[in-house]
Chain A
Amino acid sequence: MLDSNKDSLKLEAMKRIVAMVARGKNASDLFPAVVKNVACKNIEVKKLVYVYLVRYAEEQQDLALLSISTFQRGLKDPNQLIRASALRVLSSIRVTIIVPIMMLAIKEAASDMSPYVRKTAAHAIPKLYSLDPEQKDQLIEVIEKLLADKTTLVAGSVVMAFEEVCPERIELIHKNYRKLCNLLIDVEEWGQVVIINMLTRYARTQFLNPNINESLLEEGGEKEFYASDDDEDDEEKKAEAAALAKRKPYVMDPDHRLLLRNTKPLLQSRNAAVVMAVAQLYFHLAPKAEVGVIAKALVRLLRSHSEVQYVVLQNVATMTIKRRGMFEPHLKSFYIRSTDPTQIKILKLEVLTNLASETNISTILREFQTYIKSMDKDFVAATIEAIGRCATNIGEVRDTCLNGLVQLLSNRDELVVAESVVVIKKLLQMQPEQHSEIIKHMAKLIDNIQVPMARASILWLIGEYCEHVPKIAPDVLRKMAKTFTNEEDIVKLQILNLAAKLYLTNSKQTKLLTQYVLNLAKYDQNYDIRDRARFIRQLIVPTDKSGALSKYAKKLFLALKPAPVLESPFKDRDHFQLGSLSHLLNTKAGGYQELPEWPDSAPDPSVRNVEVKDSVPEWSKCTSRKERKEKKVEKPFYSDSEGESGPTESADSGNYGDQAVVALGSWNILKISKTHTHVLCASFTSDQSSGEEQKKERKGVKQRRSGSESESEEESESESSESESGSEEDSESDTDTRKKKKVWTHAHHPQHCHSQQFLLSTSVAPTSSPQVTPVNNFLSSSLASDLEGLSLTDTVLAPTTIAPSASVRMYELLHRITGEGLGVEYCFNRQAFSPDPHMVAVQIHFTNNTSCETKNLHIEEPKLQSGMRIKEFPEIDMLPAGESVSVVMGIDFCDSTQAANFQLCTHTRKFFVSIQPPVGELMTPIFLTENEFKKEQGESSHLHHQPPPHISSSSPMLK
């Protein structure tokens, strides 16, 4: 039929052939006839031929080559879908001879116009790799190229190829990291899984452990616990740990944050694999406080198919060991239903056991009681074991559990009894003295119980604690000796054990019995038992030959045995990446990539910087990096600790100066075109002259004013240089770093201007360099709170709105970790400081996060710039644990933005802190009508003789 001219006949034939293939029948004889039709016009015939070809090409390599030219033609087709499908089939044919052709096709397709073809190329990469691993280097080049692709269609497939071909080449991801994070939500779900798993590994190599501080503190605590004998040393260590924690306050890399933020919405995915992937990402990467969000999503998966439940529960079981608190609110979701399959029941039981704590144990035990009555015996046995584990883990309920288990010994079901015996044995080992009653009870059971494991356990118990039950033990041995020949092997071994132990403790009564048992064992069929008998005889029965060993027989047999540790099989499984096949099997599966440990110090984050500036997401990234930089400058305290700034970063900071300068120029233009920036100008100029005499300063203002006026419409490089020189003049003694800081404070000015530009919607000439504009935009938004106060100076606003802004920004003075539990924040509350009108009121907010009270909070040794003054707050006698308090202090910054440095002292420690005011906080608003203002403006621009009243720094208007 295949040779027929009619398509319908061909189709019919192909359908039959494919049906044969599907059933697993061999249809390879038809290969020549089928291959002929590869160029058939009918699409369905063609597709079926492809299916056949891919299946049998490996077996008939020579004949398969006949079809290659068709695909090569297809690769050149104008239709992208035909190109893609040709590549797909071509790459699926596993014939080594065509490797070069495939390589060529993949390379070409990788730079195809259509993203769909590029996606297909990404799919083809692992195919070729598995066919010929020697092509790896070339393939990596293609992968690198495709990784840079910006379409969502390609992203998932290329990461899949990356994972299969070169997962160790993590450096290829750097440049694409941010892009992948941002695209993630739009990638198809299967791609999401692969990308998230890969990014988890990536993040482990590139970022710092977000829980580092806690683990350090924990370590300190542990050391204290163990090394109690040499306290001094311990304290040292503790101090060391604390110092380490202080030296390196953890600041999450913004890229790390980006990953966490962008994956979070995917917890809402309908695809269980995606949810699991995000969950494992959070478990491995997120700070402790944030991991909790995944619990709800995982619990949701428990309502899915039983196979999904099985996998999820395995992972939850591992998680509950490390982070019990996370799932505690969802305890009820793990309750077992009678309709659950046994394997699910047992896993749920595992989770419930892990979740058991002092607070919920009674609820859980009550739940367990209902399970014991289940008809599913395997499950009942597992429940009893779980009770045993709860009893060992939570000391308070041990007796309760033990009693409950003893009650189970009278259960009618033998399996229940047997399992209880085994568990009781383990529990008793922990405290045998108090429970001779139970041992006696169990000795009676030996008559009835048939399950070998249980019998063996009872015998072992009696032997081990024969001194607690001296009367019963020999009797039990007598009974056992009678039935010895009919017992199971493990029971026989325990009988021997019991006999030996009794012989050693009570040889008068049991000598003959032991001899008898040993004789029986001597002729047993099992060689283990014969061996054991021989061994015991040599040890305990003193003969002339037996030497030194028999002296120690008692020690050998009656040594104190350590109690067994009942622990979860899921303990320590989290060293495998959660959600992976290896984790599920608890062994390394082929191709598993180890989850690396956190690095000790973060690798250079700048490798992820991307130069491209035209795309929007890139910008937001860059600016977020700058935001961090900015913070650093604001808080020199922190910037010291992050000593390792890469070469690019330092280059960056060099640029900052430039940007500030250029921006300054634009600001100057603004000043003229816009009215109320006068105030700003004043504050700015007065900055320059901090520490100078007032008269001199006024002069300076005038001069500078005139200068700026004249130059304002021009390129304002000169102005900026002047301002820089001004700053140099001011602080001749200052070091270079100071200068830098100075420049930075200038950088704040443009922000104000820019937002004024927005607020007043003026048409101002754009800044000279377009590259700078976005930075300014960003900065202006970041400091919006500062501007709230400023914008109020606009005359269009009614005076009533000039109340102190409600949303006052809090600055951090002392982080709670560096402050050893004492957290201090401050804000400028924008109210007059009544004791001294020249001072700025600073509200300081102390929070005591420690568990003990802090005493005598006060300020010492202020190190101030000349002219600056501080009015200290009254000493706080005591701050109880967990409480917080606010005080107000006054600082006269002398109209500069220099930081006020001082020591914050408690009764035990001193902390160096500094407060640096943003410019906006140094001013008081004044109200002018429009006319008044114009008058003032006219005066200031034309008459330089008299300083306009609102910039006189001695007046309370400018503090």
Chain B
Amino acid sequence: MIHSLFLINNAGDIFLEKHWKSVISRSVCDYFFEAQEKAMEPDNVPPVIRTPHHYLINIYRDKIFFVSVIQTEVPPLFVIEFLHRVAEMFQDYFGDCSEVAIKDNVVIVYELLEEMLDNGFPLATESNILKELIKPPTILRSMVNSITGSSNVGETLPTGQLSTVPWRRAGVKYTNNEAYFDVVEEIDAILDKSGTTVFAEIQGVIDACVKLSGMPDLTLSFMNPRLLDDVSFHPCVRFKRWESERVLSFIPPDGNFRLMSYHVNAQNLVAIPVYVRQNISFFESGSSGRLDITLGPKQTMGKTVECVVVTVHMPKVVLNANLTATQGNYTYDPVTKILVWDIGKLNQQKLPNLKGSLSLQSGAPKPEENPSLNIDLKIQQLAISGLKVNRLDMYGEKYKPFKGVKYVTKAGKFQTGKVVPKQSSRLLFDKTK
């Protein structure tokens, strides 16, 4: 299925190649470079490129293009999903998935790729199995290795691959048995200029860090599972029990993993934690403009809003910004035309404000569109949907584990200031006649 893989950095260097079948010359990547040039931005490179003899399916992640070469029919999502899995595995092993990290660990990368695919068909993609086969590099281990001459490759043969729970490695042992669950929710919202919600929804994930000995069988139940509208699970979750009882029953993989992701029913009104008053205007004459943004907390359920960052993509004609912020700092990058205002904690008493003038390119016509604001924020100890974990039970093992649940709310794609015509389009269109 997957014939070869090339890793290409932003500069266009092929810094790693791996072939699972016979060797394909790296000149095949020329087609990719052609498409890349045409697309201008990395985001716009078509994921599937057709060449006379091959098909190139690529993803762009962490400033690296993963370009795979396909020769015959295969579901494109199959390849894309796999490539993302590879990238995640690198992240898991090396902490980040960068060119430097890959180059430093090229042998491990190669060994990993060898294990993940056999003849182009995925063989072992579960991190638990791979870690049993090839130990991730740590400083301590590399020191020990250099002294004792032992290797990164596991001496024991992987048994997890053979079991009925292929995601969990065998013989796990911890002195402190702990299971942590992070409920992370993101608000995706589009607000119009007056602050009315055009569109809002909540996406959530439950990430787990489970370090339990033996073969624990866990059951996680919620206070209000009805909130969850659409869910997807890690393969370890028993779907039947979710269907019948709305509880998550599973034998967890060892270590970090994403237990489930969910979508909260959009019918429930989404609480928007902040409000924004913005006024960005450009003057017809004098090639200048004014900017005035104020933020304030709205529905925060008594929690503090932290890590607030406002990003504005300015029109091309804006040369510079001369602003004053009552809280935090701002930066304006005249090349990318991005204004970033890092506010930090949102203060209830003194609302942060950013005010000042913008200088425009002289002679250029004034931009017709008001830029929209993207807002980033974080609220600790709150799941904005109100989702609550009820209890976690463990069966199959005798010890008492330490359990913990953490809630975080973040802004996902949170956009304000979108200009939406108030009236129906019919009226607006008609006016012009």
Which residues of A come within 8 Å of B, CB atoms? Answer: 6-8, 11, 15, 18-19, 21-24, 42-44, 47-48, 50-51, 55, 58, 79-82, 88, 91-92, 94, 114-116, 120, 123-124, 126-127, 130, 153, 157, 160, 185-186, 188-190, 193, 197, 265, 268-273, 275-277, 296-297, 299-300, 303, 305-308, 310-312, 332, 335, 337-339, 341-343, 362, 365-366, 368-370, 373-375, 397, 400-401, 403-404, 406-407, 412, 579-582, 584-585, 587, 589-593
A312 cross-chain contacts in B, Cβ below 8 A: 77
A47 cross-chain contacts in B, Cβ below 8 A: 111, 114, 153
B351-382 with Cβ < 8 A to chain A: 365, 368-369, 372, 374
Distance A400 CA – B432 CA, assembled complex (angstroms)? 10
Q: Is the interface of A mostly helix, strand, loop or mixed?
A: helix
Distance A300 CA – B266 CA, assembled complex (angstroms)? 13
Shortest B14–chain A CB gap in Å is 7
Shortest B45–chain A CB gap in Å is 9
Given contacts A22-B106, A92-B119, A591-B72, contact A370 B421 (CB under 8 A): yes
A373 cross-chain contacts in B, Cβ below 8 A: 368-369, 419
Q: Which of B71, B122, B424 contacts A190 (CB 8 A)?
A: B122
A-B contact pairs, 6 of them (CB 8 A): A51-B114, A88-B118, A270-B261, A275-B232, A404-B428, A407-B429
B433 cross-chain contacts in A, Cβ below 8 A: 403, 406
Distance A403 CA – B369 CA, assembled complex (angstroms)? 21
What does the 1/0 interface line of B136-172 toward A look like (CB < 8 Å)? 0000000000000101111101100110101000000
Q: Which of A91, A275, A335, A400 contacts B199 (CB 8 A)?
A: A335
B334 cross-chain contacts in A, Cβ below 8 A: none
B101-135 with Cβ < 8 A to chain A: 106-107, 109-111, 114, 118-119, 121-123, 125
Which residues of B come within 8 Å of A, CB atoms? Answer: 1, 14-19, 21-23, 26, 41, 43-44, 46-48, 50, 55, 58-61, 70-78, 80-82, 84, 106-107, 109-111, 114, 118-119, 121-123, 125, 149, 151-155, 157-158, 161-162, 164, 166, 190, 199, 203, 229-235, 239-240, 243, 258, 261, 263, 313, 315-316, 365, 368-369, 372, 374, 413, 415, 418-421, 424-426, 428-430, 432-433
Q: Is the CB of A362 within 8 A of B369?
A: no
A51 cross-chain contacts in B, Cβ below 8 A: 110-111, 114
Q: Which of A58, A366, A582 contacts B425 (CB 8 A)?
A: A366
Q: Is the CB of A412 within 8 A of B199?
A: no
Distance A193 CA – B149 CA, assembled complex (angstroms)? 42
Q: Which of B50, B154, B243, B432 contacts A403 (CB 8 A)?
A: B432
Q: Is the CB of B432 within 8 A of A404?
A: yes
A157 cross-chain contacts in B, Cβ below 8 A: 121
Given contacts A362-B426, A370-B420, A593-B73, contact A584 B232 (CB under 8 A): no
Q: Is the CB of A81 within 8 A of B157?
A: yes
Q: Is the CB of A343 within 8 A of B203?
A: no
Q: Is the CB of A589 within 8 A of B432?
A: no
Q: Which of B44, B118, B424 contacts A342 (CB 8 A)?
A: B44
Distance A48 CA – B153 CA, assembled complex (angstroms)? 10
Q: Is the CB of A581 within 8 A of B429?
A: no
A55 cross-chain contacts in B, Cβ below 8 A: 19, 23
Residue of A nearest to B6 (CB): A24
Q: Is the CB of A123 within 8 A of B80?
A: no
Distance A312 CA – B81 CA, assembled complex (angstroms)? 12
Given contacts A370-B418, A403-B430, A407-B432, contact A23 B21 (CB under 8 A): no
Given contacts A43-B155, A270-B258, A400-B425, contact A126 B162 (CB under 8 A): no
Max count, chain A CB within 10 A of own CB: residue among B23, B114, B118, B425: B425
Shortest B203–chain A CB gap in Å is 6
A58 cross-chain contacts in B, Cβ below 8 A: 22-23
B72 cross-chain contacts in A, Cβ below 8 A: 589-592
Top 4 nearest A-B pairs (CB, nearest first) are A591-B72, A44-B151, A341-B43, A365-B425
Distance A391 CA – B16 CA, assembled complex (angstroms)? 50
Q: Is the CB of A401 within 8 A of B429?
A: yes
Q: Which of B1, B17, B23, B374 contacts A339 (CB 8 A)?
A: B374
Q: Is the CB of B369 within 8 A of A271?
A: no
B47 cross-chain contacts in A, Cβ below 8 A: 307, 310-311
Q: Is the CB of A338 within 8 A of B415?
A: yes
Given contacts A22-B106, A272-B81, A406-B432, contact A585 B73 (CB under 8 A): no
Total number of A-B contacts with CB less than 8 angstroms? 247
Shortest A330–chain B CB gap in Å is 10
Q: Is the CB of B151 within 8 A of A11?
A: yes
Shortest A827–chain B CB gap in Å is 29
Residue of B nearest to A587 (CB): B50
Q: Is the CB of A18 within 8 A of B107?
A: yes
A271 cross-chain contacts in B, Cβ below 8 A: 81
Q: Is the CB of B46 within 8 A of A310?
A: yes
B55 cross-chain contacts in A, Cβ below 8 A: 581, 585, 589
Given contacts A94-B22, A269-B235, A362-B424, contact A592 B73 (CB under 8 A): yes
Q: Is the interface of B mostly helix, strand, loop or mixed?
A: mixed
Q: Is the CB of A305 within 8 A of B84?
A: yes
Q: Is the CB of A339 within 8 A of B413?
A: yes
Distance A312 CA – B47 CA, assembled complex (angstroms)? 12
Distance A2 CA – B110 CA, assembled complex (angstroms)? 20
Q: Is the CB of B77 within 8 A of A127?
A: no
Q: Which of A94, A375, A581 contacts B48 (CB 8 A)?
A: A581
Given contacts A270-B234, A335-B190, contact A369 B425 (CB under 8 A): yes
Given pairs A297-B232, A365-B426, A373-B419, 9 additional interface contacts (CB within 8 A): A190-B121, A190-B125, A268-B233, A270-B234, A273-B78, A308-B80, A369-B428, A580-B76, A581-B73
Q: Is the CB of A193 within 8 A of B78?
A: yes
Q: Is the CB of A590 within 8 A of B71?
A: yes
A404 cross-chain contacts in B, Cβ below 8 A: 425, 428-429, 432
B161 cross-chain contacts in A, Cβ below 8 A: 116
Q: Which of B153, B229, B372, B424 contacts A338 (CB 8 A)?
A: B372
Distance A307 CA – B57 CA, assembled complex (angstroms)? 9
Q: Is the CB of A18 within 8 A of B106?
A: yes
Q: Which of B110, B123, B155, B261 contacts A123 (CB 8 A)?
A: B123
Shortest A192–chain B CB gap in Å is 10
Q: Is the CB of A341 within 8 A of B420?
A: no
Q: Is the CB of B41 within 8 A of A341?
A: yes
Q: Is the CB of A585 within 8 A of B48?
A: yes
Q: Which of B151, B166, B203, B234 contacts A42 (CB 8 A)?
A: B151
Q: Which of B46, B118, B424 contacts A366 (CB 8 A)?
A: B424
A310 cross-chain contacts in B, Cβ below 8 A: 46-47
Distance A607 CA – B33 CA, assembled complex (angstroms)? 52
Shortest A916–chain B CB gap in Å is 36
Distance A590 CA – B151 CA, assembled complex (angstroms)? 42
B425 cross-chain contacts in A, Cβ below 8 A: 362, 365-366, 368-369, 400, 404
A590 cross-chain contacts in B, Cβ below 8 A: 71-73
Q: Is the CB of B235 within 8 A of A366?
A: no
A80 cross-chain contacts in B, Cβ below 8 A: 162
A116 cross-chain contacts in B, Cβ below 8 A: 161-162
Q: Is the CB of A366 within 8 A of B44?
A: no
Q: Is the CB of A300 within 8 A of B432?
A: no
Shortest A51–chain B CB gap in Å is 6
Residue of B nearest to A50 (CB): B114
Q: Is the CB of A81 within 8 A of B121?
A: no
Shortest A405–chain B CB gap in Å is 9
Q: Is the CB of A277 within 8 A of B419?
A: no
Q: Is the CB of A268 within 8 A of B48?
A: no
Shortest B158–chain A CB gap in Å is 7
B19 cross-chain contacts in A, Cβ below 8 A: 55
B80 cross-chain contacts in A, Cβ below 8 A: 272-273, 305, 307-308, 311
A335 cross-chain contacts in B, Cβ below 8 A: 190, 199
B15 cross-chain contacts in A, Cβ below 8 A: 23
A275 cross-chain contacts in B, Cβ below 8 A: 232
Q: Is the CB of A366 within 8 A of B430?
A: no
B158 cross-chain contacts in A, Cβ below 8 A: 81
Given contacts A335-B199, A339-B374, A412-B365, contact A127 B119 (CB under 8 A): yes
